């Protein structure tokens, strides 16, 4: 079955990761009546628990069981109750009766040493419907991993490192979506020649490997930062997305909700959320999604 981008969200986090809140069922309730497909994509824990701000690997089974319960409750009775396009979120709890189809996913931090874990264990043994690919961390001088926007200011070496790590993630071929490709702007606060060339390298790699780049709505909901081109989002930077549009990249969007009330992002000027508004301003057409409702297999479809 074919879904428009307005009908599907594949990026959500919950209490499981420790920096999000809300139970999975609360996200499903908020999505009901707005989206038709909701994918859970908790930050993927790794067996040695080496990544900061992730659920302990020992909780992974209960995360899976939680999703599979929701799939049993919802997926079999899935009907398209509303053929119209998206509805704006209903502040009184989205009780308009539409059904929601649940997918089992996770968001993986790209580290080459976890490649076979993601491929053979998460996608293979645990039969996840999809995995999202991300680069969230940069190493500090003491070797500690730090989340990029709150780490240090990026120098050119950091920028180079980020681009090659991000390209490696894309080239692995494991991921359905390349998430928040412009997260590096949380560390690299300029829009200059170097920023343009880093952006072009990432975008052309995604084009070559035919993977959609994610215009991340959370970047637009966070507090903007001061830069040489004035106040701009920490990531989901319009200049990056204008470049991606001009180069002909495949572009999708997700809300990256970390609490149930953000499941659908926040409505903006009559648009579903801020990224739909930005895409419309920039003349970007998002991909569509083909989901096989028997197997949970999901693929993007060019706009």
Residues in contact with Zn ion by CB under 5 A are 13, 134
Q: How far is the CB of 53 from Zn ion (least distance, A)?
A: 7
Q: How far is the CB of 273 from Zn ion (least distance, A)?
A: 17
Q: Which one, 71 or 134, has the nearer CB to Zn ion?
A: 134
Closest CA relative to residue 8, chosen from 221, 214, 220? 214
Q: Which one, 86 or 185, has the nearer CB to Zn ion?
A: 185
Q: How far is the CB of 243 from Zn ion (least distance, A)?
A: 21
Q: How far is the CB of 180 from Zn ion (least distance, A)?
A: 6
Q: Which one, 11 or 32, has the nearer CB to Zn ion?
A: 11
Determine whether 52 is exposed, middle or buried from the number of CB atoms within 10 Å of its CB (0-12, 13-18, 19+).
middle
Residues 6+ apart with CB under 8 A from 104: 39, 40, 64, 67, 68, 71, 127, 128, 129, 296
Q: Which one, 44 or 134, has the nearer CB to Zn ion?
A: 134
Q: How far is the CB of 35 from Zn ion (least distance, A)?
A: 19
Q: Which one, 183 or 284, has the nearer CB to Zn ion?
A: 183
Q: How far is the CB of 274 from Zn ion (least distance, A)?
A: 17
Q: Which one, 30 or 136, has the nearer CB to Zn ion?
A: 136
Cα–Cα dist 301/216, whole Å = 19
**285: DSSP letter:** P
Estimate to the nearest angstrom the gap between the alpha carbon of 208 and the chain centroid: 20
Q: How far is the CB of 95 from Zn ion (least distance, A)?
A: 28
Q: Are strands 130-134 and 177-178 parallel, antiparallel or unpaired?
A: parallel
**32: DSSP letter:** B
Cα–Cα dist 168/145, whole Å = 18
Question: 60 with 49: CB under 8 angstroms?
Answer: no
Q: Which one, 94 or 106, has the nearer CB to Zn ion?
A: 106
Q: What is the maximum alpha-carbon separation in the chain?
A: 54
Cα–Cα dist 44/105, whole Å = 9
Encoding tokens for residue 7? 């009908």
Encoding tokens for residue 195? 């920023």
Question: 175 with 128: CB under 8 angstroms?
Answer: no
* Residue-wise DSSP of 99-147: --EEEEEEEEEP-GGGHHIIIIIIIIIT--SEEEEE--EEE-TTS-EEE
Q: Which one, 134 or 255, has the nearer CB to Zn ion?
A: 134
Q: How far is the CB of 183 from Zn ion (least distance, A)?
A: 7
């Amino acid at each position: 079955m074919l879904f428009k981008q307005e009908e599907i969200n594949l990026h959500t986090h919950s209490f499981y990761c420790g920096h999000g809140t809300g139970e999975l069922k609360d996200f499903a309730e908020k999505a009901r009546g707005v989206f038709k497909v909701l994918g859970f994509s908790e930050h993927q824990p790794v067996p040695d628990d080496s990544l900061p701000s992730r659920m302990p690997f020992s909780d992974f089974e209960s995360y899976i069981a939680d999703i599979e319960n929701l799939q049993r409750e919802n997926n079999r009775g899935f009907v398209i109750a509303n053929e119209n396009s998206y509805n704006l979120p209903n502040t009184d709890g989205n009780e308009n009766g539409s059904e929601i189809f649940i997918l089992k996913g996770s968001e993986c931090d790209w580290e080459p040493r976890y490649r076979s874990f993601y491929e053979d264990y998460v996608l293979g043994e645990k039969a996840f419907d999809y995995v999202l690919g991300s680069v969230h961390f940069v190493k500090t001088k003491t070797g500690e991993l730090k989340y990029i926007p709150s780490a240090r200011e990026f120098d050119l070496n950091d920028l180079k490192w980020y681009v090659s790590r991000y390209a490696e993630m894309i080239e692995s071929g494991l991921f359905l979506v390349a998430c928040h490709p412009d997260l590096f702007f949380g560390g690299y606060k300029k829009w200059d020649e170097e920023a343009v060339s880093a952006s072009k390298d990432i975008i052309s790699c995604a084009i070559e490997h035919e993977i959609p780049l994610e215009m991340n709505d959370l970047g637009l909901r966070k507090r903007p930062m001061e830069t040489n081109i004035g106040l701009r989002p920490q990531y989901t930077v319009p200049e990056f997305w204008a470049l991606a549009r001009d180069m002909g990249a495949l572009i999708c969007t997700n809300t990256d909700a970390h609490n149930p009330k953000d499941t659908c992002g926040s409505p903006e000027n009559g648009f579903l959320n801020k990224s739909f508004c930005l895409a419309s301003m920039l003349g970007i057409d998002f991909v569509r999604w083909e989901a096989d409702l028997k197997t949970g297999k999901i693929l993007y479809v060019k706009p």
